[in-house]
């Protein structure tokens, strides 16, 4: 207490000067229109700068929530894409009771479920990802998985709240693909070498391929909608043992930095698989 009193006594004249100066400035600003306008402008500018800095800090701490909202919104928008619907043959009449339809009467075929990547391996030859979405949230085995820029893999195991995804960067992964130019279909797999590239097979040597050509998912895959990006051609050569090309494809998905993905629910694939399972066996 004595130290406080001593401090006030030592700087009493300074404190008195500051108080009197404050009173003088208040009187000057309140009773002089010119100074009032100038002071108001300075105060508004200062308040604006402080508010902008506060908003920037607040936005930084809300980035996680913002990202989650954007992922959910993207999943909803993907569900509205034309490739998410399949139209029945116009020569037939089909009664649909449970599947949703769009305004043009097309049956919804694909639904997208957002999921956060909680584990990702790219260092081995058989790589997997773990997504934070399980059977309780609609995940099922054989669902395709895509990222913001292209395909990621396919679900192979599901628990209550998580699912295990066989990455495109897995020696056992095989995806039906097609060239955007010409719609030639082939098969994409990984050779276990560079995580930035996969290999596309079964494209005839007669096809005119160029560096930079786009490779997409084909309509022969039940796990993915047709036309989803796989990558671009980075190089190619003829297979000496066949009449086909072997193409090196740079993946559109950056497996080094993927944070969110989408499970693809083909809502009528079960019907297709059930029918194909009844295919007569050759005797």
Work out whether the CA dihedral 244, 250, 256, 257 comes out positive or negative: negative
Average pLDDT of the chain is 81
Phi first, then psi: what are they for 135, rounded to 5°?
A: -65, -30
Task: Please tell me the pTM assigned to this model.
Answer: 0.68
Residue 21 confidence (pLDDT): 75
Higher pLDDT, 251 or 242: 251
DSSP code for 184: -
> Does the structure show a pLDDT above 50 at 95?
no
Instruction: Tell me the pLDDT band of 221, cut-offs 50, 70 and 90.
Output: confident
CA distances from 277 to 143, 149, 271, 274 (A): 19, 33, 10, 5
pLDDT (0 to 100) of residue 35? 54
Tokens of 139: 């995940």
pLDDT digits (tens, 9 = 90+) for 152-209: 999 999 999 999 999 999 999 999 999 998 878 999 999 999 999 999 999 998 889 9
Q: Is the pLDDT of residue 90 over 50?
A: no
**Domain ranges across the chain:** 2-60, 175-251
3-state secondary structure of 84: helix
Q: How far is Cα 181 from Cα 174, in angstroms, rounded to an integer?
A: 21
| 3 state SS of 223 | coil
pLDDT of residue 182: 80
- pLDDT band at residue 270 under the 50/70/90 scheme: confident
Superfamily of domain 175-251: Rod shape-determining protein MreC, domain 2 (2.40.10.350)
Condensed to tens digits (0 to 9), the pLDDT of residues 39-55 reads: 555 655 665 566 566 66
The residue behind tokens 């993905």 is 261
């Amino acid at each position: 207490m004595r130290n406080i009193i001593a401090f006030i006594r030592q700087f009493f004249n300074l404190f008195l000067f500051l108080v009197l100066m404050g009173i003088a400035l208040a009187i000057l600003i309140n009773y002089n229109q010119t100074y009032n306008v100038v002071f108001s402008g300075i105060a508004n500018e200062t308040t604006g700068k402080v508010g902008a800095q506060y908003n920037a800090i607040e936005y930084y701490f809300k980035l996680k929530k913002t990202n989650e909202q954007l992922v959910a919104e993207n999943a909803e928008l993907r569900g509205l894409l034309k490739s998410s619907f399949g139209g029945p043959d116009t020569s037939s009449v089909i009664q649909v009771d449970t599947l949703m339809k769009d305004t043009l009467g097309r049956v919804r075929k694909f639904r997208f479920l957002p999921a956060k990547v909680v584990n990702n391996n790219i260092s081995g030859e058989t790589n997997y990802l773990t997504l934070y979405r399980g059977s309780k949230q609609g995940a099922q085995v054989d669902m395709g998985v895509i990222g913001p820029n292209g395909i990621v893999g396919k679900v192979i195991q599901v628990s209550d709240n998580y699912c295990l995804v066989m990455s495109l960067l897995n020696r056992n992964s095989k995806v039906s693909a097609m060239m955007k130019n010409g719609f030639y279909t082939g098969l994409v797999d990984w050779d276990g070498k560079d995580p930035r590239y996969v290999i596309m097979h079964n494209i005839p040597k007669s096809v005119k391929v160029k560096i930079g050509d786009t490779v997409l998912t084909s309509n022969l895959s039940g796990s993915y909608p047709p036309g989803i990006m796989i990558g671009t051609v980075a190089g190619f050569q003829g297979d000496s043992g066949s009449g086909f090309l072997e193409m090196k494809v740079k993946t559109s998905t950056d497996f080094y930095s993927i944070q969110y993905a989408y499970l693809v629910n083909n809502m009528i694939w079960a019907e297709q698989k059930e029918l194909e399972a009844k295919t007569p066996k050759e005797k």
